[in-house]
Amino acid sequence: MTLTGPGGVGKTSLAIQIANDLSNSFKDGIFFASLATVSDATLAISAIAEVLGVREELSGPLFDRLSSMAEKSGVRLRPGKRSLLEMVKQHIGEEYVLLLLDNFEQVIDAASEVADLLASCKNLKVLVTSRARLNVRGEYEAQVPTLPVPDLKRATLATLTKCAAVELFIQRAQLVRSDFTVTADNSRAVAEICVQLDGLPLALELAAARIRVLSAQTLLKRLEAKLKLLTAGPRDLPSRQQTLRNTIAWSYDLLNSMEKRLFSYMGVFAGGCTFEAAEKICSIGQTGGVEIVDILQSLVDKSLIRRVEEEGETRFAMLYTIREFALERLEQSEDIREVEGLHADYFATLASKAGDELRGPQQAVWLKRLERDNDNIRESLRWLLEHGEPSLCLEVAGSLWRYWSVRGYVTEGREWLSRALMRAPEHTSARAKALRGAGALASLQNDHDAARALHQEALTIYQELGDSLGISTALLLLGTIAHDQGDYTSARSLFEQSLTIKLELGDRLGTAMLLNNLGIVAQQQGDYSKAKSLYEQSLAIKRDLGDNLGVAISLYSLARMACHQADYSKAQSLCQKSLAIESNLEDKGGIADCLEGLAEVACRMKQPERAARLFGAAEIVRETYGAPIFSIERGHYESVVTDARGMLGAKEFETTWAEGRGMTLEDAIAYALRRQQH
């Protein structure tokens, strides 16, 4: 069902109320996907996948052979490389799910994907809010009406306050003036305001904000004067949308010149911004000696900008329809190129700085910060590509690959990097950095051939530039590919070459990474003593540098070593410490690794029920967040699963496994962190 109507009519509120009323009808969940900041139809399925908790799941080159081997052990592997749409289909399957898609007019070209989902998932229902119908088969359209307005011929003071439009106006007016009430003196004016505004909720809210300084009677006079002037909206828009546009225009025209300038500039932000960003980008031009914070506060007071608190940080955002209006004014301004350029540069700088911070003690903070400004960063990348700044785009995208990796935007990240690389073929350090990031993301998707080619080109550029640090990093990444494909001899050689350079350069973080990698190779070649020593050296450096993600990786490596040496108590402790860090960073791949590591410990401690439950929990994490098991690990994984199944019995094992799959991520982590005795 598609709820249609103009912006501000209350489609979202109605959809949420419908979803709440139907909560008992969808046993597998109701999911809300806001598309308000998504302007690219190709990203619609990504937004849907995100709220469902689905991330890319990709196979390695050995998938077919491993799948056949696994089936002989009674284990079913997931299909190979699939599109995100196919993953969403499989994730929903036959579950009873309601999907609420808000502001779909932004991505109307993605309507066919919604129809495809509905056709493939028989128990799925989709509730859409949009300014236009999707025009797909099976769609039911319901036009959302405006709020009922009073009958001016029959309204009394008693009946007036029970009218929905008047009730909303009063509520919003009292937010800005707590002593406001409807009286015999102003009731007629209030009623006429609601009628003049067609009962449009957003229009009512904007008008009510003026009650702070205007009486209802004065407000009505100002409103009538403006509406008479603003009646010739675009003919291809519904009349009510013209009214909404006129209402926003009326509110805009009440602003002074400084407020108008800032209002239009704020339209450049997608998904809101911090005060720091607003001050940096929107302070161009004269402000008449008035601080930007005061102008911004005035816009907040007049309901044109919203102030929201997110984890202790104040952010400023516009309703989507208001932002559209602001963008129109910005496009008419001679300052548009400067404002957009400042926006692009600001978030390019933010992303570039994050590249270094994601390797240090502030990793968790920066991951969250990038998440909050993800839409602004997308706009920055788009602007840089479209206005002749591909080299800077390369630098930015090359700094973001770790964020894209941890948060599951792997495919999107590869796309940005690919577009930037095509625009800037020159052999520069920025290109090499972007190649390195693109190769790392390709490796995460087990696309080893592409990864090797990207890293090899990066190595060539670094060699041409005489960049020793870059050369050592490229060798490290090439060694990782060799390791992931089981070529331990080549991996060890490449790691050792890289380590020699990093030691000479004093790159401690790179040294720590290589020590851990060499430890993994030593462990897989059976040299446990050497592996343990390398892990411990790596861990000490990472702790000293505050590299929490690296610490978690080293703890996990040591946990696996302890498990192989039958020190299960130590293995459990180390793995739980790693899991605590991974969960704080929200690194879904690392969380899945730790759940499986603890499942193996439980199996070795003769606790097959716990093992099965943890394996099930890990499986759902991998499926929903696109964190596949590396092909090199698949054989060992299957062996442990087989052992646990054998101890518990096939039927009970499958039942307990399903229980693990049914756990929430939070519950699974809490369960895994419980200490078990041998």
DSSP for 523-562, written as a single string: HHTT-HHHHHHHHHHHHHHHHHHT-HHHHHHHHHHHHHHH
- Residue 455: inside a domain, yes or no? no
- Whether 535 shows a pLDDT value over 80: the answer reads yes
Q: How many domains does the chain have?
A: 4
Looking at the fold, whether 65 and 196 belong to one and the same domain comes out as no
Looking at the fold, whether 189 and 294 belong to one and the same domain comes out as no
Q: What is the pLDDT of residue 64?
A: 55
Domain end, chosen from 251, 282, 316, is at 251
pLDDT digits (tens, 9 = 90+) for 140-165: 988 888 888 888 867 777 778 889 99
- Residue 488: inside a domain, yes or no? no
- The backbone torsions φ and ψ at residue 30, rounded to the nearest 5 degrees and listed phi first, read -120, 130
Q: What is the pLDDT of residue 53?
A: 87
pTM of the predicted protein model: 0.71
Looking at the fold, whether 137 and 219 belong to one and the same domain comes out as no
CATH code of the domain covering residue 673: 1.25.40
Highest mean pLDDT among 155-169, 210-224, 509-523: 509-523
| Cβ count within 10 A of residue 46 | 21
Domain span holding position 35: 2-143
CATH code of the domain covering residue 278: 1.10.10.10
- Whether 657 shows a pLDDT value over 70: the answer reads yes
pLDDT digits (tens, 9 = 90+) for 75-98: 555 555 678 888 899 899 999 999
- Whether 122 shows a pLDDT value over 80: the answer reads yes
Asked whether the beta carbons of 53 and 31 are under 8 A apart, the reply is no
- Residue 345: inside a domain, yes or no? no
- Residue 486: inside a domain, yes or no? no
CATH code of the domain covering residue 126: 3.40.50.300
- Residue 83: inside a domain, yes or no? yes
> Among all chains, which residue has been given the structure tokens 């808000």?
102
Looking at the fold, whether 586 and 674 belong to one and the same domain comes out as yes
- Whether 288 shows a pLDDT value over 80: the answer reads no
- Residue 121: inside a domain, yes or no? yes
Phi-psi region at 325: left, alpha or beta (left = phi > 0; alpha = psi -120 to 50):
alpha
- Residue 307: inside a domain, yes or no? yes
Instruction: Report the C-alpha gap between 205 and 203 in whole angstroms.
Output: 5
Q: What is the pLDDT of residue 231?
A: 38
Q: What is the pLDDT of residue 298?
A: 85
Domain end, chosen from 143, 172, 201, is at 143
> Among all chains, which residue has been given the structure tokens 């190779």?
521
Q: What is the pLDDT of residue 228?
A: 41
Asked whether the beta carbons of 479 and 490 are under 8 A apart, the reply is yes
Looking at the fold, whether 136 and 19 belong to one and the same domain comes out as yes
- Token readout for 262 is 């800032």
Looking at the fold, whether 200 and 222 belong to one and the same domain comes out as yes
- Token readout for 440 is 């790392």
Looking at the fold, whether 274 and 200 belong to one and the same domain comes out as no
Looking at the fold, whether 112 and 161 belong to one and the same domain comes out as no
pLDDT level of residue 320 (50, 70, 90 thresholds): low
- Residue 467: inside a domain, yes or no? no
Looking at the fold, whether 218 and 310 belong to one and the same domain comes out as no
Domain end, chosen from 282, 310, 333, is at 333
Looking at the fold, whether 126 and 224 belong to one and the same domain comes out as no
pLDDT level of residue 569 (50, 70, 90 thresholds): very high
Looking at the fold, whether 168 and 246 belong to one and the same domain comes out as yes
Looking at the fold, whether 27 and 138 belong to one and the same domain comes out as yes
